[in-house]
Amino acid sequence: GRIVKLMGDGALVEFASVVAAVECALAIQESMTARYADGPEEEAVAMRIGVHVGDVIVQGDDLYGDGVNLAARLEAEAEPGGVAISQDVWRQIESKLGPVFRDGGERNLKNIDRPMRVYLSGATAEPSAPADRAAQPSIAVLPFANMSGDPEQEFFADGLTEDIITEL
């Protein structure tokens, strides 16, 4: 793939093949697991990866658009150490990669107007039902409101929310 940009704790990478993108994501997660296998669990880095296939807008050396936004939203749905893919990706890889992913069900993704079916890989092999999640302790981080009226402060408010989520 082509590294489009690195963003602090993330990266945007473009692939010519959806199969290559998913194989790369799985290989990264497998190598991260192997890298920290012998060390203390608290030192392990557990990444989340989201993969989507869709249209993007090329502007200079950067990519924008729904394809990029959906991949970012899928990343948030992945389990630590796992990969989340869209149904469009799953349709293209299911016969080529075998049963690596499980159906994660319909999910409401941030700023996406309709639910999307998500497929998951990761440390947990058993699918978790929505009822199981409701019984587990959880915390919600709501976006901070820009009360200053200055549109330039929106970026700061969003960044602060993302930083809190990352730390949690």
DSSP state of 161: H
Q: Is the pLDDT of residue 157 over 60?
A: yes
User: What's the pLDDT score for residue 127?
Assistant: 42
Q: Bridge-partner residues for 12, per DSSP?
A: 5
Q: Is the pLDDT of residue 136 over 70?
A: no
Phi, psi (rounded to 5 degrees) for 35:
-60, -40
The pTM assigned to this predicted structure is: 0.67
Determine the average pLDDT of the residues in 89-103. Answer: 86
**Which tokens sit at 34?**
């192997």
Determine the average pLDDT of the residues in 34-61. Answer: 85
Q: How confident is the model at residue 18 (pLDDT cuts 50, 70, 90)?
A: very high
Q: CA 37, CA 19: separation in Å to the nearest integer?
A: 27
Q: How confident is the model at residue 125 (pLDDT cuts 50, 70, 90)?
A: very low
Conformational region of residue 52, where left means phi above 0, alpha means psi within -120 to 50, and beta covers everything else: beta
| DSSP line for 96-136 | HH-S--EEEEEE--TT-SS-EEEEEESS--SPPPHHHHHHS
Contact 54, 78 (CB under 8 A): no
Identify the weakest region by mean pLDDT among 74-78, 96-100, 115-119, 123-127: 123-127
User: What's the pLDDT score for residue 21?
Assistant: 92
Determine the average pLDDT of the residues in 58-77. Answer: 87
59 vs 49, which has greater pLDDT? 49
Determine the average pLDDT of the residues in 78-107. Answer: 89
Residue indicated by tokens 């893919």: 85
Strands 62-64 and 82-86, by their bridges, are: unpaired
